[in-house]
Chain A
């Protein structure tokens, strides 16, 4: 069921519809909050405030953005106000996202990577593959995790993610590149153990 339908239902008093949205978005909201505040418990407080603000303001949601972008924006605003974390400095220095040992001194692959095509299609529902992806996301450092979650899991645009996390689009791209590369490496290792 899509978000807007759930929104209408909870406005009509359906608790279950509200809980469905909570299940869907609470982890991302906590991720956004953690970007701005120091402790997990403060992040939880920010998330609670966010949901209360959603309940109080849902009738005013005009649908100019998607529900989730609106929701994440509320979370970011609340977290910013609460925020105690020093402003993050994201290094944009080039970082090898594939182990340097995989390349020759001339920068060519020593052993070429193999396509992942067989991880898709029939195996898309493969619980192990998806668990592997989820574990890889969980293991990412904070800013990379927030960026990849908002961009690739939630499907927001780079500009929306930059806005929510108060980072430049260039920083978002660097973090996204690193995060995706780590998830890719994890899938490559997984594929290696499966064969």
Chain B
């Protein structure tokens, strides 16, 4: 097997998001995993990114103003009226 070039922390950090998405090439994945096995700091960074992604998946949608919701609700009423016209 060809020698896998080692990477430093700064290079490891650049690979972590793709690593968590399973999007790294095999070579880069092996480079990163070898680095992580020996580096507590980058392992902590990996944990931070995992938690960041989990928390991002937990936030709900931004709040909608009551006016915006009412306006969009009116589209429903418009559609209902339109459907009734079609039936007649």
Contact = CB atoms under 8 A, between A and B. Distances in A.
B8 A107 contact: yes
Contact of B17 (A26, A119, A173): A173
Chain B, interface residues (CB within 8 Å), range: 35 or more
A56 B59 CA distance: 30
A117 B44 CA distance: 9
Contacts of A115: 44, 47-48, 51
A48 to B, nearest CB: 6
Contact of A23 (B41, B55, B61, B78): B61
B4 interface: no
A187 B56 CA distance: 11
Interface residue SS majority, chain A: helix
A109 B62 contact: no
B59 A22 contact: no
B69 interface: yes
Chain A, interface residues (CB within 8 Å), range: 35 or more
Given A22-B73, A24-B61, A180-B17, A133 B56 contact: yes
Contact of A112 (B40, B57, B61): B40
Interface string B44-58: 110111011111111
Interface in A1-34: 10, 13, 15, 18-19, 22-28
Given A107-B9, A112-B40, A26 B21 contact: no
A18 to B, nearest CB: 5
Contact of A48 (B14, B23, B40, B72): B72
B68 to A, nearest CB: 7
A120 B51 contact: yes
A106 interface: yes
A112 B44 contact: yes
A13 B80 contact: yes
The 4 closest A-B pairs by CB, nearest first: A107-B8, A112-B41, A116-B51, A177-B17
Interface of A: 10, 13, 15, 18-19, 22-28, 47-48, 51-52, 55-56, 94, 96-98, 100, 103, 106-109, 112-117, 119-120, 124, 129-130, 133-134, 137-138, 148, 152-153, 155, 158, 169, 173, 176-177, 180-181, 183-184, 187-188
Interface of B: 8-11, 13-14, 17-18, 21, 23, 40-42, 44-45, 47-49, 51-59, 61-62, 64, 68-69, 71-73, 75-80
21 contacts: A10-B76, A15-B76, A22-B69, A27-B64, A28-B61, A48-B75, A52-B78, A55-B76, A98-B13, A108-B41, A109-B9, A113-B41, A115-B47, A119-B51, A124-B55, A137-B56, A158-B23, A177-B17, A177-B18, A180-B49, A183-B56
